[in-house]
Structures are given as structure tokens and as C-alpha cells.
């Protein structure tokens, strides 16, 4: 096997700092583009004989190729007497995104498991230095080394090429639609925060609530171009999930206490007077870790899915959703609805007393929280349901899944699946993470793993516009009450505001 020149790199977090580029090639450090690796090296853990392959086009250092794996950081790497997966101060497991970078496009490169193992041993030494950092430090530079060791050739999982465009916000791509309602869009404003954005929601036409994963809930003001924190996480408690009331008067958060994985605290913030109160604190005997919460349309109850840390058989009726009364803080009606798999999302209807919940098996349930009755249960998808949105104008909902499919369902009389949005608009790249209806119900916005925001013509089930500007998966989208603006939040730490019309 011929030798090739490569540079090791590492993306990870430590006990104090969130994910960032820890080690990067020396030539990337010299021109200050090491952070590019934190944006491009992503995915989930694979088997030891697999690795991700990705091409990067148009960097300041020319075209690049990265081959990398994702593995759990071992506690013994920083403490010889410790065992298990390393965790940060919030109790979250830490992963090492590690591999090698090659100059140019190396489509025919063959690396072995021994190549990455050799790189891993040196990166562990680098990570030990990084573990002690309490504030950001310069990226550790790596020098070129020769790879091409004997061993089992790696099987590649190819990630879509990453193309670096201009530094100004990218423009939208408009796709022909039969609908005269299809909006034209342009990027008008952007806010950069210091963490992944997992929720954006307009409170009115100029203020946006933003949830930065685990750490903070912000209030953005478009008129003053400013942001201020509303709810903070901390060293011993992090924000697990956030829900905004449909009437935009209340926000609730689920917090997990570090060191007590079964202990939850739900906070409720009244946005009229910014009064905050603790609603309910669970103990290990009565709750698991809260994964999903949602406020009812009248802000009177919160639907809660608690993922128990006790392993349960995934048989039917094994996983409950509970309702918590906001006034009393107690559980209303006991365990209300059941799923046969872990629940990924819960959303309230703006028109009636319904919630919709979606799980990892592709099942969507519609249920009435006042009567404790299930209205319907459907398998709209073959994989995880990531997002659900209700129309504000009629009894219609859309659901989006891990495989990129968006399904539209009517529940006016009987449950009726009406088809798929975008069935004639080409293939998706990655999953759908976020969905939102426009105030007039004619447009659905979606955000996905490909970093794109897409606007769908509901009537004709066609793609109307495709908005490019994010460099990592889009996790949330939301329309302003007047329908003139759209906000999108992404794992690239940015909130973008798009002007429609």
C-alpha cells in the first residue's frame, strides 16, 4: 500500500467548553480556518471498520479531504483509575470526532483501521491537554505524517461534499411552482450565538425566542438588533427541552440536574411580566429524564415525555406521556397516552384540545388531553418522526421524518393521509428536523440535515423556494405572526431571518 501524507485532527468538548476544533493541521491554523473542521466533521458513531469520507471544496487552503470516526471518549484517557465513557460537568457523554485530513480531493484513497488507530493514540495525548482548558485556547496544530499502514481497509460512509461559498449570507433558490402564493425570500438579518440553536419562535413581529441547546434561552429583538438571556442553564443544571405557548405568553423548560440523571426541574416563565417559577421537581423514584415537553394551546397543561433510565421492553403500551397541570404542578389524569417506542416530538394543535406525538418507529398519535382519548394513530413514516406542525387554519398537520419524507394528513372527519409534500420536487439529503405553517396555512417551511430551509406550496404539494445560508443542520423554523418573516436556527450557532414577499 502506497504512503500518503496526512494531518490528524480532533473535534470534541471537555468539562467546561462545548464542541470545537481541538487539533487541526498546522497550515489551517496559520490561516485561521481550523473551525472549519468542527462544521464539516459530523455524524453518529460507526463500527470500528467504518469511517466517514467527506470532500471540502473552496477553502483558503484549497480543496481538502477528511476521513474520520466518531467514538466515545474513555474516562481512562484523562484518569487512569476511571472507567466508562467520559462525561462533562452536565453529565453528558463526550464523543471524539477524530481522523485525518489530506490535501486535495482523494476519492481513491484507501486507509486502514491501523491508520486511524495510530492517529487516535496521538490525539488522546492532545485531548488530555484540552481536558484542563477552562477557557478557549488556540487550536493545537498537527504536523504531516505518512499513512498507509497495513491492516483492514476501512469501509467509507460518504458525506455530501461541503462547498464553501462567499462569506455574505447566501441567496435563495426559487423553484417553479403552479401556485401564485409561492413567496420570494431574501436573507435580511443574522444572529451568531455560542452554541447549537434548537428552537426559534416569534413572540411578535419583532421579537424572537431562541433556545441554545443545554445552556440558554435568549430573546432577540430585530428592531434593536440585540439579544438578552431570559433563562440560564448552569454548572449543575442544563436546559434539556423548551416549549413556547401558542399564544406567545408563556415558555416552559425542562432542566436536568447534573449528577442526578433522574431528577428533573420544569420551569415556567410568564412572558407578560417575566415572572419565573419552578413547576415540578421529580425524584429518581417518580420520573426519568425529560426528553420532550409541549404546552397546550391554552397554556394550562404541559405534555411531558420522560425517558426512563430504567431499561423497559419496547412492547406496545410501554412508554407513557404525562400531563402536568400548570396551576397546581401535579399530574393530571395519570399517565395519559402510550407509545411503543421513544417519543421524539410533541406538538399542540392551535384549533382544539389535541396534541400530536411522534416516535422512533414512525408512529404518530393524535390525542385529546381533556378527555384522555386517542383520536387516531397512524404510521406515516418508516423511521423516526422528528417534527410535526399543525395548520392554524384547518384540521391538517404535516409530519417530517429521519429519511427526509414530509407527510400531510387531514383529520377533519376521519384520519386521512393526503400524500407527501415535495413528491415531485426531487430527493432530500438527510432528515427533516423542523416544520412550521405560515399564518395563512398556505406555506410550510422545513429545515433539514442538509442545512437548507425549504418553503412548500401546500395546495400543490410542490417546493416553492429553497433558502441556503446555514452550514450545518437546521433544527427549527418559525414564521412571524404577520407572515412577512421567517426565522431559522441551526447547529452552526446562527439564527437567520428571512424576509418573505
3-state SS, one letter per residue, for 386-414: EEEEECCCCCEEEEEECCCCEEEEECCCC
Q: What's the total number of domains in the chain?
A: 3
Same domain as 138, residue 177? no
C-alpha to C-alpha distances, 28 to 52, 140, 445, nearest whole angstrom: 20, 11, 36
- Rounded to whole angstroms, the Cα distance separating 367 from 322 reads 12
Which residue shows C-alpha cell 442544563?
Answer: 238
Same domain as 146, residue 8? yes
Same domain as 184, residue 136? no
- Rounded to whole angstroms, the Cα distance separating 202 from 487 reads 8
Same domain as 12, residue 156? yes
- Rounded to whole angstroms, the Cα distance separating 192 from 491 reads 11
Same domain as 205, residue 112? no
Question: 497 lies in a domain?
Answer: yes
Question: 361 lies in a domain?
Answer: no
Same domain as 154, residue 13? yes
220 three-class SS: strand
**Per-residue burial over 319-346, b = 16 or more CB atoms within 10 Å of its CB, e = otherwise:** bbbbbbebeeeeebeeebbebebbbbbb
- Rounded to whole angstroms, the Cα distance separating 360 from 362 reads 5
CATH number at residue 426: 2.130.10.10
Question: Per-residue pLDDT tens for 430-479?
Answer: 689 999 999 999 999 999 988 999 999 998 888 888 888 898 899 999 99
Question: 362 lies in a domain?
Answer: no
Question: Per-residue pLDDT tens for 316-361?
Answer: 445 678 888 888 777 776 556 778 788 889 999 998 899 999 988 8
Same domain as 251, residue 342? yes
Question: 53 lies in a domain?
Answer: yes
Question: 449 lies in a domain?
Answer: yes
Same domain as 243, residue 222? no
Least Cα distance to 139 among 291, 22, 268 occurs for 22
Residue 258 CA to its chain's centroid (Å): 21
- Rounded to whole angstroms, the Cα distance separating 68 from 50 reads 9
Same domain as 196, residue 158? no
C-alpha to C-alpha distances, 418 to 32, 114, 342, nearest whole angstrom: 50, 51, 26
Same domain as 217, residue 259? no
Residue 54 sits in which domain range? 4-163
Same domain as 137, residue 14? yes
> Cell for 100?
485525518
pLDDT in tens for each of the 501 residues of the chain?
467 899 999 999 888 887 889 999 999 999 889 989 988 998 888 888 899 999 998 888 889 999 999 999 998 888 888 888 888 766 778 999 999 999 998 888 889 989 999 899 899 999 999 998 887 789 999 999 988 777 888 999 988 888 775 433 444 444 444 444 456 666 668 888 878 899 999 989 999 989 887 678 888 999 888 888 887 765 445 676 788 887 657 777 766 544 444 456 677 777 776 667 777 544 333 445 677 888 888 888 888 887 654 444 444 445 678 888 888 777 776 556 778 788 889 999 998 899 999 988 888 999 988 887 888 888 878 888 999 999 999 999 999 998 888 999 888 766 766 667 764 344 455 689 999 999 999 999 999 988 999 999 998 888 888 888 898 899 999 999 999 999 999 998 899 999 986
Report angle CA 141, 145, 148 to the nearest 5 degrees. 140
Q: What size, in residues, is the chain?
A: 501
Last residue of a domain, one of 107, 136, 163: 163
Question: 459 lies in a domain?
Answer: yes
Question: 363 lies in a domain?
Answer: no
Same domain as 129, residue 23? yes
Looking only at the bridges linking them, the beta strands covering 20-25 and 140-142 are parallel
> Cell for 241?
427541552
Question: 115 lies in a domain?
Answer: yes
Least Cα distance to 342 among 295, 308, 294, 389 occurs for 308
- Rounded to whole angstroms, the Cα distance separating 318 from 87 reads 29
Least Cα distance to 123 among 225, 188, 41 occurs for 41
Residue 373 CA to its chain's centroid (Å): 31
118 three-class SS: helix
Amino acid at each position: 500500500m502506497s504512503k500518503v501524507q496526512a494531518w490528524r485532527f480532533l473535534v470534541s468538548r471537555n468539562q467546561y467548553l462545548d464542541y470545537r476544533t481541538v487539533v487541526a493541521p498546522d497550515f489551517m491554523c496559520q490561516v485561521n480556518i481550523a473551525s472549519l473542521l468542527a462544521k464539516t466533521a459530523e455524524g453518529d458513531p460507526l463500527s470500528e471498520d467504518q469511517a466517514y469520507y467527506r470532500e471540502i471544496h473552496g477553502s483558503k487552503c484549497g480543496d481538502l479531504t477528511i476521513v474520520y470516526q466518531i467514538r466515545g471518549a474513555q474516562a481512562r484517557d484523562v484518569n487512569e483509575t476511571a472507567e466508562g465513557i467520559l462525561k462533562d460537568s452536565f453529565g453528558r457523554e463526550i464523543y471524539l470526532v477524530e481522523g485525518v485530513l489530506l490535501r486535495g480531493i482523494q476519492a481513491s484513497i484507501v486507509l486502514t483501521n491501523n491508520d486511524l488507530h495510530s492517529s487516535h493514540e496521538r490525539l488522546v495525548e492532545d485531548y488530555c491537554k484540552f481536558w484542563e482548558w477552562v477557557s478557549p485556547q488556540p487550536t493545537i496544530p498537527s504536523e504531516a505524517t505518512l499513512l498507509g499502514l497495513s491492516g483492514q481497509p476501512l469501509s467509507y460512509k460518504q458525506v455530501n461534499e461541503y462547498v464553501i461559498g462567499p462569506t455574505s449570507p447566501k441567496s435563495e433558490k426559487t423553484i417553479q411552482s403552479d401556485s401564485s402564493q409561492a413567496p420570494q425570500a431574501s436573507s435580511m438579518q443574522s444572529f451568531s450565538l455560542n452554541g447549537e440553536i434548537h428552537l426559534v419562535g416569534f413572540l411578535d413581529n419583532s421579537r424572537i425566542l431562541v433556545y441554545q441547546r443545554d445552556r440558554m434561552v435568549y430573546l432577540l429583538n430585530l428592531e434593536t438588533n440585540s439579544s438578552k438571556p431570559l433563562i440560564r442553564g448552569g454548572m449543575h443544571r442544563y436546559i434539556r427541552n423548551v416549549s413556547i405557548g401558542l399564544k406567545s405568553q408563556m415558555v416552559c423548560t425542562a432542566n436536568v440536574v447534573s449528577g442526578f440523571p433522574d431528577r428533573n426541574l420544569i420551569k415556567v416563565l410568564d412572558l407578560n411580566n417575566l415572572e419565573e417559577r419552578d413547576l415540578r421537581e421529580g425524584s429518581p423514584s417518580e420520573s426519568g429524564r425529560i426528553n420532550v415537553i409541549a404546552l397546550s394551546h391554552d397554556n394550562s397543561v404541559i405534555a411531558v415525555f420522560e425517558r426512563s433510565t430504567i431499561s423497559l421492553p419496547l412492547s406496545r403500551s410501554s412508554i407513557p406521556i404525562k400531563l402536568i397541570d400548570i396551576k397546581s404542578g401535579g399530574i393530571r389524569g395519570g399517565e395519559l397516552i402510550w407509545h411503543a417506542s421513544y417519543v421524539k416530538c410533541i406538538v399542540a394543535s392551535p384549533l382544539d384540545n389535541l396534541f400530536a406525538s411522534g416516535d422512533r418507529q414512525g408512529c404518530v398519535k393524535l390525542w385529546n388531553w381533556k378527555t384522555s382519548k386517542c383520536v387516531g394513530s397512524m404510521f406515516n413514516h418508516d423511521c423516526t418522526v422528528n417534527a410535526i406542525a399543525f395548520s392554524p387554519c384547518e384540521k391538517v398537520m404535516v409530519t417530517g421524518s429521519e429519511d427526509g419524507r414530509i407527510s400531510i394528513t387531514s383529520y377533519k372527519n376521519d384520519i386521512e393521509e393526503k400524500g407527501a409534500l415535495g413528491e415531485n420536487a426531487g430527493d432530500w439529503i438527510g432528515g427533516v428536523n423542523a416544520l412550521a405553517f405560515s399564518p395563512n396555512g398556505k406555506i410550510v417551511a422545513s429545515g433539514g440535515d442538509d442545512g437548507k430551509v425549504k418553503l412548500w406550496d401546500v395546495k400543490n404539494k410542490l417546493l416553492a423556494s429553497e433558502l441556503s445560508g446555514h452550514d450545518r443542520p437546521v433544527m427549527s423554523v418559525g414564521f412571524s405572526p404577520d407572515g412577512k418573516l421567517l426565522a431559522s436556527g441551526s447547529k452552526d450557532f446562527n439564527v437567520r431571518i428571512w424576509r418573505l414577499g
